Amino acid sequence: MKANPSDQLQILDIQRMDFHVAMLHNKASALPEIAELLGTTQRLTVVRDLEIAAQTQISDIKRELSRSESDVEQVVARLERDEKRLADGSTAPKELEKLQHEVQTLTSRRSELEEVELEIMLRMDSVKARLDELKAEENLLIAQATQIEARKAAALAAIESEVTAIISERLATVAAIDGALVDLYEKLRSSNGTGAAALREGRCDGCHLAINSVELSRIKTLASDEVVRCEECRCILVRGAK
Protein backbone atom coordinates (compact mmCIF):
# COMPACT_ATOMS: atom_id res chain seq x y z
CA MET A 1 0.00 0.00 0.00
CA LYS A 2 1.20 3.49 -0.80
CA ALA A 3 0.35 6.80 0.87
CA ASN A 4 1.80 10.28 0.74
CA PRO A 5 4.53 10.68 3.44
CA SER A 6 2.73 13.76 4.78
CA ASP A 7 -0.46 11.70 5.13
CA GLN A 8 1.50 9.06 7.04
CA LEU A 9 2.78 11.73 9.42
CA GLN A 10 -0.77 13.00 9.88
CA ILE A 11 -2.08 9.49 10.60
CA LEU A 12 0.46 9.50 13.42
CA ASP A 13 -1.08 12.77 14.62
CA ILE A 14 -4.48 11.05 14.62
CA GLN A 15 -3.02 8.25 16.76
CA ARG A 16 -1.71 10.83 19.22
CA MET A 17 -5.17 12.42 19.36
CA ASP A 18 -6.79 9.04 19.98
CA PHE A 19 -4.31 8.28 22.76
CA HIS A 20 -5.03 11.69 24.26
CA VAL A 21 -8.80 11.13 24.15
CA ALA A 22 -8.39 7.69 25.75
CA MET A 23 -6.23 9.23 28.46
CA LEU A 24 -8.88 11.90 29.12
CA HIS A 25 -11.61 9.27 29.35
CA ASN A 26 -9.50 7.34 31.87
CA LYS A 27 -8.95 10.58 33.78
CA ALA A 28 -12.71 11.18 33.83
CA SER A 29 -13.43 7.69 35.18
CA ALA A 30 -10.75 8.04 37.86
CA LEU A 31 -11.54 11.52 39.17
CA PRO A 32 -10.82 11.73 42.92
CA GLU A 33 -14.27 13.27 43.35
CA ILE A 34 -15.85 9.96 42.28
CA ALA A 35 -14.29 8.02 45.18
CA GLU A 36 -14.89 10.95 47.53
CA LEU A 37 -18.55 11.14 46.55
CA LEU A 38 -18.95 7.37 46.94
CA GLY A 39 -17.49 7.47 50.45
CA THR A 40 -19.72 10.39 51.39
CA THR A 41 -22.91 8.80 50.06
CA GLN A 42 -22.07 5.48 51.74
CA ARG A 43 -21.63 7.25 55.07
CA LEU A 44 -24.86 9.15 54.43
CA THR A 45 -26.68 5.84 53.96
CA VAL A 46 -25.23 4.53 57.24
CA VAL A 47 -26.21 7.71 59.09
CA ARG A 48 -29.77 7.55 57.78
CA ASP A 49 -30.03 3.90 58.82
CA LEU A 50 -28.79 4.86 62.29
CA GLU A 51 -31.39 7.65 62.41
CA ILE A 52 -34.16 5.16 61.65
CA ALA A 53 -32.82 2.86 64.37
CA ALA A 54 -32.70 5.75 66.85
CA GLN A 55 -36.24 6.85 65.96
CA THR A 56 -37.45 3.27 66.44
CA GLN A 57 -35.67 3.15 69.77
CA ILE A 58 -37.32 6.42 70.82
CA SER A 59 -40.74 5.00 69.95
CA ASP A 60 -40.02 1.91 72.02
CA ILE A 61 -38.81 3.99 74.95
CA LYS A 62 -41.92 6.21 74.71
CA ARG A 63 -44.12 3.14 75.09
CA GLU A 64 -42.00 1.94 77.98
CA LEU A 65 -42.21 5.38 79.60
CA SER A 66 -45.97 5.46 79.15
CA ARG A 67 -46.30 2.12 80.94
CA SER A 68 -44.00 3.32 83.71
CA GLU A 69 -45.97 6.55 84.17
CA SER A 70 -49.19 4.53 84.31
CA ASP A 71 -47.70 2.29 87.01
CA VAL A 72 -46.67 5.34 89.06
CA GLU A 73 -50.10 6.93 88.66
CA GLN A 74 -51.82 3.79 89.90
CA VAL A 75 -49.59 3.60 92.98
CA VAL A 76 -50.02 7.34 93.68
CA ALA A 77 -53.81 7.00 93.40
CA ARG A 78 -53.87 4.11 95.89
CA LEU A 79 -51.47 5.95 98.19
CA GLU A 80 -53.58 9.12 98.17
CA ARG A 81 -56.70 7.08 98.88
CA ASP A 82 -55.06 5.30 101.85
CA GLU A 83 -53.58 8.55 103.21
CA LYS A 84 -57.04 10.12 103.07
CA ARG A 85 -58.51 7.24 105.03
CA LEU A 86 -55.76 7.63 107.64
CA ALA A 87 -56.48 11.34 107.90
CA ASP A 88 -60.18 10.69 108.53
CA GLY A 89 -59.39 9.17 111.94
CA SER A 90 -62.44 6.91 111.74
CA THR A 91 -60.55 3.69 110.94
CA ALA A 92 -60.64 0.87 113.47
CA PRO A 93 -57.32 0.18 115.27
CA LYS A 94 -56.82 -3.20 113.61
CA GLU A 95 -57.61 -1.79 110.19
CA LEU A 96 -55.47 1.26 110.94
CA GLU A 97 -52.34 -0.87 111.44
CA LYS A 98 -53.00 -2.68 108.19
CA LEU A 99 -53.53 0.62 106.40
CA GLN A 100 -50.32 2.12 107.77
CA HIS A 101 -48.37 -0.90 106.58
CA GLU A 102 -49.90 -0.58 103.10
CA VAL A 103 -48.99 3.12 102.97
CA GLN A 104 -45.38 2.28 103.78
CA THR A 105 -45.34 -0.41 101.11
CA LEU A 106 -46.90 1.87 98.52
CA THR A 107 -44.50 4.70 99.38
CA SER A 108 -41.56 2.35 98.87
CA ARG A 109 -43.09 1.05 95.62
CA ARG A 110 -43.66 4.58 94.41
CA SER A 111 -40.02 5.44 95.02
CA GLU A 112 -38.88 2.36 93.08
CA LEU A 113 -41.20 3.10 90.16
CA GLU A 114 -40.12 6.75 90.01
CA GLU A 115 -36.48 5.63 89.85
CA VAL A 116 -37.36 3.35 86.94
CA GLU A 117 -39.23 6.21 85.30
CA LEU A 118 -36.22 8.51 85.74
CA GLU A 119 -33.89 5.91 84.22
CA ILE A 120 -36.20 5.58 81.20
CA MET A 121 -36.30 9.36 80.77
CA LEU A 122 -32.50 9.53 80.93
CA ARG A 123 -32.29 6.85 78.22
CA MET A 124 -34.76 8.84 76.16
CA ASP A 125 -32.64 11.99 76.50
CA SER A 126 -29.52 10.05 75.51
CA VAL A 127 -31.11 8.60 72.36
CA LYS A 128 -32.60 11.97 71.41
CA ALA A 129 -29.18 13.60 71.77
CA ARG A 130 -27.69 10.87 69.56
CA LEU A 131 -30.44 11.44 67.00
CA ASP A 132 -29.69 15.17 66.98
CA GLU A 133 -26.01 14.37 66.34
CA LEU A 134 -26.95 12.06 63.47
CA LYS A 135 -29.23 14.67 61.90
CA ALA A 136 -26.45 17.25 62.13
CA GLU A 137 -24.04 14.82 60.49
CA GLU A 138 -26.61 14.05 57.79
CA ASN A 139 -26.97 17.75 56.95
CA LEU A 140 -23.19 18.12 56.83
CA LEU A 141 -22.82 15.09 54.55
CA ILE A 142 -25.55 16.38 52.23
CA ALA A 143 -23.73 19.71 51.95
CA GLN A 144 -20.42 17.93 51.32
CA ALA A 145 -21.98 15.69 48.67
CA THR A 146 -23.40 18.75 46.91
CA GLN A 147 -19.98 20.42 46.88
CA ILE A 148 -18.24 17.27 45.64
CA GLU A 149 -20.86 16.78 42.93
CA ALA A 150 -20.27 20.37 41.77
CA ARG A 151 -16.49 19.82 41.62
CA LYS A 152 -17.00 16.55 39.77
CA ALA A 153 -19.34 18.19 37.24
CA ALA A 154 -16.84 21.01 36.64
CA ALA A 155 -13.96 18.56 36.15
CA LEU A 156 -16.01 16.42 33.75
CA ALA A 157 -17.09 19.51 31.81
CA ALA A 158 -13.47 20.61 31.40
CA ILE A 159 -12.46 17.13 30.22
CA GLU A 160 -15.42 16.94 27.84
CA SER A 161 -14.52 20.33 26.40
CA GLU A 162 -10.97 19.15 25.75
CA VAL A 163 -12.23 15.92 24.18
CA THR A 164 -14.59 17.86 21.92
CA ALA A 165 -11.75 20.08 20.73
CA ILE A 166 -9.54 17.08 19.98
CA ILE A 167 -12.34 15.28 18.12
CA SER A 168 -12.95 18.41 16.04
CA GLU A 169 -9.27 18.59 15.15
CA ARG A 170 -9.25 14.86 14.38
CA LEU A 171 -12.18 15.18 11.97
CA ALA A 172 -10.41 17.97 10.12
CA THR A 173 -7.20 15.93 9.89
CA VAL A 174 -9.01 12.79 8.71
CA ALA A 175 -10.78 14.78 5.99
CA ALA A 176 -7.44 16.01 4.64
CA ILE A 177 -5.66 12.66 4.16
CA ASP A 178 -6.02 9.49 2.09
CA GLY A 179 -9.20 7.60 3.04
CA ALA A 180 -7.62 4.19 2.42
CA LEU A 181 -4.86 4.97 4.91
CA VAL A 182 -7.43 6.09 7.47
CA ASP A 183 -9.44 2.89 6.95
CA LEU A 184 -6.32 0.76 7.51
CA TYR A 185 -5.48 2.75 10.63
CA GLU A 186 -8.99 2.37 12.06
CA LYS A 187 -8.98 -1.37 11.38
CA LEU A 188 -5.63 -1.84 13.11
CA ARG A 189 -6.59 0.39 16.04
CA SER A 190 -9.84 -1.49 16.64
CA SER A 191 -7.98 -4.81 16.83
CA ASN A 192 -5.02 -3.97 19.08
CA GLY A 193 -5.56 -0.40 20.31
CA THR A 194 -2.67 1.06 18.30
CA GLY A 195 -3.10 1.85 14.62
CA ALA A 196 0.11 3.76 13.94
CA ALA A 197 3.45 4.39 15.63
CA ALA A 198 6.69 6.16 14.84
CA LEU A 199 9.81 4.28 13.82
CA ARG A 200 12.58 5.73 15.98
CA GLU A 201 16.14 4.51 16.47
CA GLY A 202 15.27 1.10 15.10
CA ARG A 203 12.28 0.62 17.43
CA CYS A 204 8.51 0.66 17.02
CA ASP A 205 6.95 3.23 19.34
CA GLY A 206 3.80 1.11 19.42
CA CYS A 207 5.10 -2.13 20.91
CA HIS A 208 8.49 -0.67 21.94
CA LEU A 209 10.32 -3.63 20.38
CA ALA A 210 13.47 -3.35 18.30
CA ILE A 211 13.16 -4.00 14.58
CA ASN A 212 15.62 -6.68 13.45
CA SER A 213 18.50 -5.52 11.27
CA VAL A 214 17.31 -7.37 8.16
CA GLU A 215 13.90 -5.70 8.31
CA LEU A 216 15.47 -2.30 8.97
CA SER A 217 17.65 -2.72 5.93
CA ARG A 218 14.62 -3.63 3.86
CA ILE A 219 12.66 -0.62 5.10
CA LYS A 220 15.51 1.71 4.12
CA THR A 221 15.19 0.53 0.54
CA LEU A 222 11.49 1.30 0.31
CA ALA A 223 10.12 4.43 -1.29
CA SER A 224 8.98 7.16 1.10
CA ASP A 225 5.34 6.66 0.08
CA GLU A 226 5.38 2.93 0.85
CA VAL A 227 3.31 2.12 3.96
CA VAL A 228 5.41 0.07 6.38
CA ARG A 229 3.99 -2.26 9.04
CA CYS A 230 5.60 -3.43 12.29
CA GLU A 231 6.29 -7.16 12.18
CA GLU A 232 5.41 -7.53 15.86
CA CYS A 233 2.28 -5.41 16.52
CA ARG A 234 1.27 -4.91 12.86
CA CYS A 235 0.66 -1.17 13.30
CA ILE A 236 1.59 1.34 10.60
CA LEU A 237 5.25 2.32 11.08
CA VAL A 238 5.70 5.99 10.25
CA ARG A 239 9.16 7.04 9.15
CA GLY A 240 10.54 10.53 9.53
CA ALA A 241 8.50 11.39 12.63
CA LYS A 242 10.03 13.92 15.01
Contacts 24+ apart (CB under 8 A), 133-137: 134/47, 134/50, 134/51, 134/54, 135/51, 137/47
How confident is the prediction along the chain (242 residues), in pLDDT tens digits per residue?
A: 999 999 999 999 999 999 999 999 999 999 999 999 999 999 999 999 999 999 999 999 999 999 999 999 999 998 888 888 777 766 667 777 788 888 899 999 999 999 999 999 999 999 999 999 999 999 999 999 999 999 999 999 999 999 999 999 999 999 999 999 999 999 999 998 899 999 999 999 999 999 999 999 999 999 999 999 999 999 999 998 87
CA distance 120 to 114: 10
d(CA 45, CA 137): 11
Instruction: Give the pairing of strands 196-200 and 236-238.
Output: parallel
User: What does the radius of gyration of the chain's CA atoms come to, in whole angstroms?
Assistant: 42
